[in-house]
Structures are given as C-alpha cells and as structure tokens.
Structure 1
Amino acid sequence: MSFHRDGRRPYRRDDGARRNERIRVPQVRVVDDEGNQLGVLPTNKALDIAREKGLDLVEVAGKADPPVCKIMDYGKFMYQQQKRKQEAKKKQTVIQIKEVKFRPKTDEHDYQTKLKHIRRFLSDGDKCKVTIFFRGREIVHKDRGLAVLERVQEETQDIAKVEQSPRSEGRTMNMMLSPIKK
C-alpha cells in the first residue's frame, strides 16, 4: 500500500484491471486463456486454475453480476494495449493553426514572401490565420487592411477556403483559411 508524501492517509494506485488476489468477490464467471467459458466458479478455485497454468486471473467486466474474469498473461495483455495506443497515436493527424501577420502598408516583396509561407502551411495541411495589425492612426484605414485580406483570399483560392471571413477585433483584423481536401 502506498502513502502520500507527507505520510497521511494511504491511497490506492489504480494501474488498470483488478487481478489475482485483488478480486474480492465470492464468485466469478471465468473465461480461460483459449476463450472457453468455464462457468461461474468460486474466486479461489478460479485463482488456482490460473496459477496451475502459470497465468493471471484478470477482471474484465467488474460491473457484471457475477464479475467476468479471464485467465491470461497480464503483462502481455498490458504490452499489447500499450502497442495499440501507440499505433492509434501514429495514425492521428494533428492540425495546427499557423499565423501570418501583415500590416496595411506591407510592401509587395514582403507580401509575396508571406504569401509563399501561407501557401506552404496550407499545402502541409495546417490551417492559417491571416492577421492585419494596425498601429497608431492606421486604424482609420480599415479598408486597406480588408483589401490585403481579400487579395490573400483571391490568391489562395485554388488551395484554400475561407473558414472564418475577415472580421475586426480591436487593433487587428483577421481571417482563417483552411486547406481544401483533395
């Protein structure tokens, strides 16, 4: 049994299913290592059968009446579960949101460079947030910022769709682009 660091009350570490002596019900429904039903048996008899085979008695359905236990190699079972989780994690794709910031007075060369970055992000499968940042009195010319966003939208329409249309928030104006699935 484990204790808290400061020595107070004990706590139970839950490392998965109950197994062997941790199963404290009088009777369990037993499934052997080959998948055959052995029926409802007293827990100590089921534990003896598992030990004879050199395996563990693992509770697989604790809410059932009586609980269902399976005779298996618990270490191997946990290893396989861990492998399945890793495989599932490999297959999932994480979509990131990349942000590219413009100013209303962004020069043509800088604009083209940032546009290349946007196209690269979208072709990699990431979403792209295009932001126009207004400083000082530039806020009066929101139409210039909107023109930049519309130009970006036109020049990326072959690979992106607008997920969130241009909208203004304080000193910024932004829109969200997401890649078109092929």
Structure 2
Amino acid sequence: MINEQIRDREVRVIGADGTQLGIMSAREAFKLAQEAELDLVKIAPTAKPPVCKIIDYGKYRYEMARKEKEARKKQKTVEIKEVRLSPNIESNDLNTKINAARKFITKGDKVKVSLRFRGREMAHVQNSKHILDDFAEALSEIATVEKAPKMEGRSMTMVLAEKR
C-alpha cells in the first residue's frame, strides 16, 4: 500500500535517509512524504504498529523486481529422470543403465529407477529386488537412496539423489 491507501490510525515511520521518525498518524506521515516529494510506502504491514517508509515508490518497485529476478536466477530446478529395467536384464545392459543414471546424477538430477514386471514375471517379484539393490550399490559413491524400493502396481521403483 502507498500514500492515501494507508488507513491505519498509527504507523511507525522511517525517513528517506533511514532514520526513525517515530510513531505518528498516517495523515501526518503522508504530509511528511509529500513535503519531501516522495511516497509513503507500507513495508511491514503485519508489525504492530505497521512500518511505513518515505521513499520513491517507482525506485522501490524496481529494486524489488531486481531482487526477485536475482533470486530466480540462483534457483535450481531438479528434474527426475527415469531409468527402466526388466527383471531378466543382463549384466552388460545393467552396466549401461547404471552409466546413464550416473550421468544424470552428476548433472544434478534425481533418478527414478523402475523395474517393470510383465505377465509371469509378477510371480517372481521378491527374487528381482536384488537388481535394484545392485543398482544402488553401484552408484553408492555418488548417490544415496532417497526412496527405498517399493512395489507400485506392476513395477518396483526407487529414487536416487546426489550425495550432499
């Protein structure tokens, strides 16, 4: 809120140079802002009493937008990549999948490893859990198991994330 929009009975006012001007009515604070040819901006509406500052509103909005843009730039999105395996996978194929997962993890992504069961393979689910355990063991130096192997429908999944 700025200028006339501030309807509070009392506000704590901070001057243009950053000095505390004390607690006064919103009208008095607005008059002080007009005399300085600046705006009265409510910067802490939840405080008791609310804190208002005498500043140039356009400049204030520009600074806030710049800070927000800077924060967004530093933010990193983590993607979840999926590696699909089957219960009767050969060791060379497993190594290829492990190398693909290693590449994803070193890039900073999480890896969802899913072991898909089809038809008769559903009868031997417990015998296949060791494949996911071996997968996690092979990547143990760079990754940790974020979500342990668990059955979800016809597939067993686990999630690996980069070690901190």
Is the shorter-chain TM-score for this pair beyond 0.5, marking a shared fold? yes
Q: Deviations over 1:95-152 (max 9, x none)?
A: 3222111112335554333222111111112221111101111112225532322331
Hey, what's the Cα distance between the residues in 1 that align with 2:147 and 2:11? 56
CA contact 1:145–1:173 (8 Å) conserved in 2: no
Among all aligned residue pairs of Structure 1 and Structure 2, give the percentage whose two residues are the same amino acid.
43
Amino acid at match of 2:64: Q
Q: Do structure 1's residue 129 and structure 2's residue 112 form an aligned pair?
A: yes
Structure 2 segments unaligned to the other structure (5+ residues): none
Counterpart check, 1:160 vs 2:129: no
Residue equivalent to 1:83: 66
Report the counterpart of residue 37 of structure 2 in structure 1. Answer: 54
2:129 aligned partner, one-letter code = L
Unaligned 5+ runs, structure 1: 1-17
Instruction: Give the equivalent residue in structure 2 for 1:169.
Output: 152
* Residue number among 7, 31, 34 corresponding to 2:14 in the alignment: 31
In 2: Cα distance, 1:63 partner to 1:180 partner: 40
Amino acid in structure 1 at the alignment position of 2:94: Y
CA distance in 2, matches of 1:143, 1:116: 25
RMSD, aligned CA: 2.4
Runs of 4+ in 1 over 4 A off after TM superposition: 63-66
Distance 1:47-1:144 versus aligned 2 partners, 3 A rule: same
Match of 1:114 among 85, 90, 97: 97
**Secondary structure of the equivalent of 2:108?**
coil
Higher helix share: 2
Aligned partners of 2:60 and 2:130: how far apart in 1? Answer: 60
- Alignment coverage as a number of residue pairs: 164
**Does the Cα contact within 8 Å between 1:57 and 1:72 map onto a contact in 2?**
yes
Q: TM-score, normalised by structure 2?
A: 0.82
Distance 2:50 2:144 in 1: 53
